[in-house]
Structure 1
Amino acid sequence: MIINHDNGKCKSADIVLNYRLFGNEQTINGNEKTPVLFIHGLSYFSYDWLEFGSELCVDRLGCAMDMRGFGDSSESVDDDYSIPSMAEDIKNLLDHLGWEKVILVAHSMGARSASYFTRNNPEYVKGLVLVDWSPENAPAGSKRVATTVANMPDAFVDLKEVMKYFGTDPDSPDGQDKLERFKAYTKPVEAGDRITIKRSGFFKQQFIKQLESGNAPKRGVDLWEVVRAIQVPVLLLRGTRSDLFAAETLPKMLDSNALIQAQEIDAGHYIIGDNPVMSLESMSTFIQSLETK
């Protein structure tokens, strides 16, 4: 499905960020309803939020950003994909948009940076939605992600090969539905007639090293301390079939911060794709609660 939206660019340090604007601006008690910024995970990009985000933002503005090194945002010359730098990108984008207050909805890897940004800049954030993320990745999911990214070919013959690699049959009805998505997710390789996905090669090299050493990369940030220090309402969504967010980690998240409320949804790691109806209902209820406070 092609969703009407406007593309924009924003400078952030040495990066040019790409973003997609959509939604319908409305007011409540004379004030504009709080806009929503959507932040993707490692195997996704801004396009993946369009359909869901448009449904969530029928009464407010929405924006989905491509994080540095992803989608149509530029790559870091110095391979700086640290959590603080990605969080600074969020701030620079919000300032570019003129959004003084925002609701953040962030999935997986994107939730790391969103949590860090929220901890450091609570005045910007009315509420935070963490989609299938905690500071502790479950081993099975970590291995799956590392293997998929590390083993991904540097280039593919065509779009069908890309889709098959990521588990989508291009000739199926589901494949036809996702065709535009994969077109937007790929780009020509500089030399030759092959294509690749729009993600910096830095992440592939990082996971190759992880598989060789058996050690996850050091983040340089205590993410549990970050979660404990968040000062705004948080909705935490966990997929009941997620292999990255273990069930036993959920109580630890709830114990870490009294501002966190949680809901488990019948889904895997990609909650909004697996169960968009329940995801939409949960987020809409949370956002409504923020607007009435």
Structure 2
Amino acid sequence: MSELKETSDHVASGDVEIFYRKFGRPGRMPVLIVHGLSYTSYDWIDAARLIACDREVAAMDMRGFGESTWSVQHDYKLESQSADVVAVLDALGWSRAVLMGHSFGGRVMLACATWQPERAGAYISVDFAPDLAPAGRRHVAERIGRQPDFFKSVEDAMAYHGHQDVPLESRIRRRWESFLRKTEHGYVMKRDLHYRDMFRKALETGKSAPVPDFLWPMMAKITIPTLVVRATESDMFEPQTLEKAKKLNPRFVGVEIAGSHNLPGDNPTGLAQVVTKFLDDTSL
């Protein structure tokens, strides 16, 4: 369908250029999506297309990820990431939008919705809450923290991330090709090594960066329509944490759908369905 054609662009924000993909056509309130630490906007293409049936939907690459540039100053503060969201909203001409974030992107969008409330029509958290499950947090630290500077091939990168004997034309391979950049030294992941070094230091010292203590208070005070989605097989978001979120703020709509932490990859159709229902129910 012509209205679901993907377009893309970059916008300057601070010391970086932020890349974003856009789908759909003007209609109901638009949706802006931010990915997590192990993903890029590419991972949201399928779900974004489905959500964009009656509105515009954009998925951006965080600074240091995907097709966005890396910060020379290693400025990856939450405040700067929130400002990047606003820069994309401005570039798109959206005065307000539904702010949706997956995993770490949920943190970014929660902060943006709190600090820039006039830009947020609703907040959607996809497999994110301030309390991270210890097993999942350790798994992320190990996988990112032990990542080499370069991989010899796409196959080596996939094997490192648990994908063996992947067919050349498979969806998984295409995804990893999108997350890698070929250089004279090998294949580098499209994620600033700042993140690798941060997790590596945590592994070496045994001291992880603390989760900001202002995130739960942010969730408690948020008054815009909010959807919290948990993946049934998530290793990052425990069932009791979803109950904690719903008790903390009775306005929240909390749902569980089938899939792992990688919901946009595992179950884009189910994810799009719960997001669409939420937007319909809240008349957004």
Q: Same fold (TM over 0.5)?
A: yes
Q: Which residue of 2 aligns with 1:5?
A: 6
Say whether the 8 Å CA contact 1:127–1:290 is kept in structure 2. Answer: no
**In 2, Cα distance between the equivalents of 1:281 and 1:169?**
31
Aligned positions of 1:55-66 closer than 5 A: 55-66=50-61
Q: Which residue of 1 aligns with 2:175?
A: 181
For residue 291 of structure 1, give the secondary structure of its aligned residue in structure 2: coil
TM-score normalised per structure 1: 0.91
List gaps (5 residues or longer) in structure 2. none
| Count of paired positions | 281
Letter of the aligned partner of 1:21 in structure 2?
Answer: K
Alpha carbons of structure 1 residues 170 and 61: separation in structure 2 relative to 1, 3 Å: farther
Q: CA deviation at 1:134?
A: 0.5
Q: Which residue of 1 aligns with 2:232?
A: 240
Say whether the 8 Å CA contact 2:130–2:211 is kept in structure 1. Answer: no
For residue 237 of structure 1, give the secondary structure of its aligned residue in structure 2: strand
Say whether the 8 Å CA contact 1:40–1:106 is kept in structure 2. Answer: yes
**In 1, Cα distance between the equivalents of 2:25 and 2:162?**
34
Say whether the 8 Å CA contact 1:82–1:219 is kept in structure 2. Answer: no
**In 1, Cα distance between the equivalents of 2:100 and 2:165?**
30
Tell me whether 1:125 sits opposite 2:120 in the alignment: yes
**In 2, Cα distance between the equivalents of 1:155 and 1:163?**
12
Equivalent of 2:209, from 209, 217, 222? 217
Q: CA deviation at 1:276?
A: 2.5
For residue 81 of structure 2, give the secondary structure of its aligned residue in structure 1: helix
Letter of the aligned partner of 2:33 in structure 1?
Answer: F
Equivalent of 2:160, from 161, 165, 174? 165
Letter of the aligned partner of 1:127 in structure 2?
Answer: A
**In 2, Cα distance between the equivalents of 1:54 and 1:184?**
18
Letter of the aligned partner of 1:260 in structure 2?
Answer: F
Equivalent of 1:283, from 271, 275, 281? 275
Equivalent of 1:256, from 245, 248, 252? 248
Say whether the 8 Å CA contact 2:18–2:68 is kept in structure 1. Answer: yes
Q: CA deviation at 1:167?
A: 2.3
Q: Which residue of 1 aligns with 2:22?
A: 21
Identity of aligned residues (%): 33
Q: CA deviation at 1:4?
A: 4.1
Q: CA deviation at 1:193?
A: 4.2
Say whether the 8 Å CA contact 2:246–2:253 is kept in structure 1. Answer: yes
Aligned positions of 1:44-59 closer than 5 A: 44-59=39-54
TM-score normalised per structure 2: 0.93
Letter of the aligned partner of 1:168 in structure 2?
Answer: H
For residue 187 of structure 1, give the secondary structure of its aligned residue in structure 2: strand
Say whether the 8 Å CA contact 1:17–1:72 is kept in structure 2. Answer: yes
Aligned positions of 1:90-101 closer than 5 A: 90-101=85-96
**In 1, Cα distance between the equivalents of 2:165 and 2:25?**
33
Tell me whether 1:77 sits opposite 2:72 in the alignment: yes
**In 2, Cα distance between the equivalents of 1:117 and 1:171?**
38
Equivalent of 1:272, from 252, 264, 270? 264
For residue 34 of structure 1, give the secondary structure of its aligned residue in structure 2: strand
Q: Which residue of 1 aligns with 2:33?
A: 38
Q: CA deviation at 1:133?
A: 0.5
Say whether the 8 Å CA contact 2:18–2:69 is kept in structure 1. Answer: yes
1:78-123 deviations in Å (ceiling 9; x for gaps): 2111111111110111011110111122100001010000012222
Say whether the 8 Å CA contact 2:50–2:269 is kept in structure 1. Answer: no
- Return structure 1 stretches of 4+ with deviation > 6 angstroms: none
Alpha carbons of structure 1 residues 154 and 4: separation in structure 2 relative to 1, 3 Å: farther
Q: CA deviation at 1:24?
A: 3.1
Say whether the 8 Å CA contact 2:166–2:173 is kept in structure 1. Answer: no
Letter of the aligned partner of 1:147 in structure 2?
Answer: E
For residue 20 of structure 1, give the secondary structure of its aligned residue in structure 2: strand
Q: CA deviation at 1:215?
A: 2.1
Q: CA deviation at 1:290?
A: 2.6
Letter of the aligned partner of 2:157 in structure 1?
Answer: V
Q: Which residue of 2 aligns with 1:29?
A: none
Tell me whether 1:143 sits opposite 2:138 in the alignment: yes
**In 2, Cα distance between the equivalents of 1:227 and 1:134?**
9
